[in-house]
């Protein structure tokens, strides 16, 4: 019996070693991709990592930050580096769902309706300032994100693969905006909040933009087929049962903080993460391990992606807002309290 257990353990170790070796080989393109993006994007390394996590785990991303932090530039650069079809849609209050999805046009010669596809039929969609469009347009986009298909008239069309929505949101102006409802925010795998660059980085940004030389253009590094293959490899990253339990405990602590000795958090949280949060946390952790050329997930991977995965999935009460307690503070408290495997 003991010999059988030892054999199983050694087999598991060999499997993890072979996965680790495979991931090291297959993730070589990440360094090239980052270097190519670094030609255009100065600093914002966490944002670049988050974009890659969303890309590799087939999850949509919401970028929030004040104007001028290179949100649009980063997404545009990523589309050039991956060599995919890219559509930029500027969301405005007068935008209609048909402007996004497409519509049926009557052809007088044929006496029939023909379908004109909208800009959503691309690999990468930049939904610029998503909170400026009314609820009808937002829900049309979010349905496409979830179902990965569009229905125009009687016909249903599959969206191209890979399909990735990168939405930007400006937190400064509230006038003339339609904030995304919490339930719809859940469709985004990650919500990335951007901060101002460091002083040294800002100096480089100035030099970069006022230089007499032409602005650098990124070169394609990978194609869509390679991304689809990389996504399959990311799913093969080993996730131990103890790490699985750790993820479940973190998400469950956002719903029932009292069970984990955090009774003080209960009056501050109006609702916690859904099962989609657990799935996203597991997938994002695998993608983070892949980016760091590792074939297995460690607790630090989970902790690294926790803020981006959970910040838009935890509702704050008026009490929390009155006490100036942010979602990030609550997540930090949960990570400090939940037992690490």
* Angle, alpha carbons 133-138-140 (nearest 5°): 130
Quickly list DSSP for 233-278. HHHTSB--HHHHHHHHHHHHHHH-GGGGT-GGGGGGEEE---HHHH
Whether 17 is in a domain gets the answer no
Q: Is the pTM of this model over 0.95?
A: no
Among 175, 203, 225, the domain boundary falls at: 225
Residue 265, in any domain of the structure: yes
Average pLDDT of the segment spanning 309-324: 89
Which run of H or E residues covers position 191? strand 190-193
Question: Could you tell me whether strands 149-152 and 155-158 are parallel, antiparallel, or unpaired per DSSP bridges?
Answer: antiparallel
Same domain, 244 and 212: no
3-state secondary structure of 178: coil
User: Does residue 312 belong to any structural domain of this protein?
Assistant: yes
My answer on whether 95 and 207 are in the same domain is yes
- Do 90 and 167 fall into the same domain? yes
Alpha carbon of 44 to those of 128, 205, 339: distances in Å? 19, 12, 31
- What lies within 8 Å, CB to CB, of 258 at 6+ separation is 266
Tokens of 140: 């049309």
Residue 211 belongs to domain with CATH number: 3.40.50.300
Q: 260 and 214 in one domain?
A: no
Q: Per the structure, how many domains does the chain have?
A: 2
> Do 167 and 35 lie in a common domain?
yes
Residue 206 is assigned to a structural domain of this protein = yes
Note the pLDDT tens digit of each residue in 138-172.
888 887 888 888 888 778 889 888 888 988 887 76
- Nearest in space to 296 (alpha carbons), one of 246, 234, 341, 254: 234
Flag whether 12 is in a domain: no
Q: Are residues 276 and 172 in the same domain?
A: no
Residue ending a domain, among 191, 225, 259, is 225
Q: CATH number of the domain at 324, please.
A: 1.10.8.80
| pLDDT average, residue stretch 72-77 | 82
Residue with tokens 């008239």: 153
Question: Is 97 within a domain?
Answer: yes
Which domain covers residue 329, as residue numbers? 238-337
Q: What is the pLDDT of residue 195?
A: 81
Q: How many whole angstroms separate alpha carbon 333 and alpha carbon 265?
A: 9
Does 249 lie in the same domain as 210? no
Asked if the structure places residue 248 within a domain, the reply is yes
What phi and psi, each to the nearest 5 degrees, are found at residue 64?
-120, 130
Is pLDDT above 50 for 16?
Answer: yes
Both 159 and 211 in one domain: the answer is yes
69 within 8 A of 196, measured Cβ to Cβ: yes
- Rounded to an integer, the average pLDDT of 43-70 is 85
| Beta pairing class for 315-316 and 164-169 | unpaired
* More confident of the two residues 191 and 67: 191
Rounded to an integer, what distance in angstroms lies between the CA atom of residue 247 and that of residue 99? 40
Q: Which of 202, 225, 248 is the last residue of a domain?
A: 225
Q: Which residues have C-beta within 8 Å of that of residue 81, sequence separation ≥ 6?
A: 33, 36, 37, 218, 219, 220, 221, 222
Least confident window among 53-67, 117-131, 163-177: 163-177
Using only C-alpha atoms, what is the Rg of the chain?
Answer: 22
pLDDT-derived band of residue 3, with 50, 70 and 90 as boundaries? very low
Q: Are 188 and 61 in contact (CB under 8 A)?
A: yes
245 and 220 in a common domain:
no
> Residue 112 and residue 108: Cα distance in Å, rounded?
7
134 lies in the same domain as 251: no
Are residue 62 and residue 199 in the same domain, yes or no? yes
Residue 51 lies in a domain: yes
Q: Please check whether residues 261 and 147 belong to one and the same domain.
A: no
- Average pLDDT along the chain: 84
């Amino acid at each position: 019996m003991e010999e059988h257990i030892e054999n199983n353990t050694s087999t598991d170790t060999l499997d993890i070693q072979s996965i680790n070796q495979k991931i090291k080989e297959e993730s070589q393109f990440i360094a090239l991709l980052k270097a190519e993006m670094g030609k255009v994007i100065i600093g914002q390394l966490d944002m670049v990592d988050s974009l890659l996590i969303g890309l590799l785990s087939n999850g949509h991303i919401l970028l929030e930050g004040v104007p001028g932090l290179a949100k649009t530039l980063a997404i545009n650069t990523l589309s050039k580096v991956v060599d995919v079809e890219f559509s930029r849609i500027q969301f405005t209050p007068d935008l209609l769902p048909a402007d996004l999805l497409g519509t049926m046009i009557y052809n007088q010669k044929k006496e029939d309706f023909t379908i004109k596809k909208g800009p959503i039929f691309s690999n990468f969609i930049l939904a610029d300032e998503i909170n400026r469009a009314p609820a009808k347009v937002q829900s049309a986009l979010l349905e496409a994100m979830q179902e990965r298909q569009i229905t125009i008239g009687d016909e249903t069309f599959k969206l191209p693969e890979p399909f990735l929505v990168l939405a930007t949101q400006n937190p400064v102006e509230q006038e003339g905006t339609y904030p995304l409802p919490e339930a719809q925010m859940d469709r985004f795998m990650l919500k990335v909040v951007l901060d101002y660059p460091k002083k040294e980085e800002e100096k480089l940004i100035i030099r970069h933009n006022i230089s007499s030389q032409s602005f650098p253009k990124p070169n394609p590094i990978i194609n869509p087929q390679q991304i689809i293959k990389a996504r399959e490899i990311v799913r093969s990253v080993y996730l131990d049962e103890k790490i699985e339990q750790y993820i479940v405990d973190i998400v469950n602590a956002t719903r029932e903080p009292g069970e984990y000795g955090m009774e003080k958090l209960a009056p501050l949280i109006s609702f916690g993460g859904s099962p989609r949060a657990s799935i996203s946390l597991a997938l994002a952790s695998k993608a983070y391990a892949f980016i760091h050329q590792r074939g297995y997930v460690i607790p630090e991977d989970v902790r690294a992606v926790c803020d981006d995965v959970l910040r838009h999935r935890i509702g704050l009460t008026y009490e929390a807002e009155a006490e100036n307690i942010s979602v990030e503070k609550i997540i930090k408290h949960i990570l400090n309290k939940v037992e690490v495997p």
